Amino acid sequence: MKIYINGKYYSEKDAKISVFDHGLLYGDGVFEGIRAYHGKVFFCNEHIDRLFDSAKAIALKVPMSKKKMVEAVVDACKKNKITNGYIRLIITRGVGSLGLNPYLCKTPQVIIIAGDIQLYPKKLYETGMPVITVGTVRNHVEALNPRIKSLNYLNNVMAKIEAINSNVMECIMMNPQGFVAEASGDNVFALKGNVLRTPPSWCGALEGITRNAVMELAREEGLDVREDVLTRYDLFTADEVFLTGTAAEIIAVIDVDKRKIGTGKPGKVTIKLLAAFSELTKKNGVPII
C-alpha cells in the first residue's frame, strides 16, 4: 500500500507523522471515510465539501483547494489500483508545542490511505443486527458538534465499548436531551407504515452522505421521508430500523434493547433500499482515471 502524505507517497512502514502532531496530542483534525465502487469515488465531491466544512468549523485551513483534494483522492486510488475500496482522508492540525494553541501548528498534514474495509461480518447483512442504546450521550452540539467529523472520536469509542461489552457490534446514542442522535459510527432510520424518519443533524448527528443518498432513494420509492425528533419508543415500535454509513452501507437492525423490530428479520423496505443503493453505486462517482 502506498500512503499519501502532503503530496508524497510512502510505504506503510515509512508513512509516519510526528508525535508532536496535534492530531495525536489532542485529536485536533478532521477526516472522511469514502468508498470507491466500480472504478469511481462514490460521492467524492460531497465528502470533500463536508471535509472542508468540518475544517472550517474548527478553524483549520486546508492547505489545498477542493479540486486538488479530489485529484489527490483519485490519484491515491490509482496508485493503489483501487477500483472497489475504502479511502480514509485525514487532515491533522500538524506539529505544534505541547500546549493546546492550534495557531502554533504551521503545517497541516494531509493523509490519504486508499485500502479496504469490512465493518460488519457479511452474515449480519443477511440476518440483521441487534443493537442496544447506551448511556454515553452524544456530544452536545455546542461542546463538539457531531456534524464536525473530527479526529476526536472518543465519544463514539466510549459508546462502542458499551456495545461490545454487551455483545453487540453497534449501539444507538441519545443526545443530551434524551432524543435519538445516531449510532456510534452510522446514522439511524426508523420506518413506521409509509413514514421513514431519521433525526435531523441538529439533534446531534453527523449529516451522513449515505443518509442523504438513502433519503433521496426512499423518496423515489414513494416513502414519506422526514427528519424528525425520535425517542427510543419510536425505535422500539418501528416496523423497520436500519443504519447507514459509508463503511456500513445499509444494515438492518432487528433488535433494539431486546425489543424485536418488525418480524425480527431485515424488512422489505430495507432490502429494497439496499438494492436501490447498490444500483446507485454503479452510477455515481468521480472516475478513477
Question: b/e per residue, 162-179, with b = 16+ CB within 10 A?
Answer: bbeeeebbbbbbbbeeeb
Helix or strand or coil: residue 262?
Answer: coil
Is the Cβ of residue 175 or residue 210 nearer to ligand PMP in the bound state? 210
Tell the residue number behind the cell numbers 500538524, with chain if given.
Answer: 94
Query: Smallest Cα–Cα separation from 54: which of 207, 212, 214?
Result: 207
Query: Smallest Cα–Cα separation from 5: which of 85, 81, 76?
Result: 76
The pairing of strands 85-92 and 109-115 is antiparallel
CB of 208 to ligand PMP, least distance (A): 3
Per CB under 6 A, the list member of 21, 28, 182, 239 interacting with ligand PMP is 182
Give the bridge partners for 210, in sequence order: none
Q: Which stretch binds ligand PMP (CB under 6 A): 78-86, 216-224, 241-249, 281-289?
A: 241-249
User: Which one from 67, 123, 149, 160 is the annotated catalytic residue?
Assistant: 149
Helix or strand or coil: residue 259?
Answer: strand
Is 79 catalytic? The answer is: no
* Number of chain positions touching ligand PMP (CB under 6 A): 15
Helix or strand or coil: residue 86?
Answer: strand
Q: Does 206 bind ligand PMP (CB under 6 A)?
A: yes
Per CB under 6 A, the list member of 57, 247, 271, 280 interacting with ligand PMP is 247
Q: Which stretch binds ligand PMP (CB under 6 A): 61-69, 91-99, 110-118, 180-188?
A: 180-188
From CA 228, how far away is CA 200, in angstroms rounded? 6
Sequence-distant (≥ 6) Cβ neighbours of residue 56 within 8 angstroms: none
Per CB under 6 A, the list member of 133, 156, 270, 281 interacting with ligand PMP is 156
CB of 210 to ligand PMP, least distance (A): 3
Contact pattern from residue 46 through residue 85 relative to ligand PMP, giving x for each residue in contact according to CB under 6 A and a dash for the rest: ----------------------------------------
Q: Does 197 bind ligand PMP (CB under 6 A)?
A: no
The grid coordinates of residue 60 equal: 483549520
Q: Which stretch binds ligand PMP (CB under 6 A): 70-78, 110-118, 239-247, 275-283?
A: 239-247
Q: Do residues 229 and 220 lie in contact, with contact meaning Cβ atoms separated by under 8 Å?
A: no
Per CB under 6 A, the list member of 185, 199, 267, 285 interacting with ligand PMP is 185
From CA 6, how far away is CA 34, in angstroms rounded? 18
Q: Does 139 bind ligand PMP (CB under 6 A)?
A: no
Give catalytic residue positions: 149
User: Contact positions toward ligand PMP, by CB under 6 A?
Assistant: 33, 156, 182, 185-187, 206, 208-211, 244-247
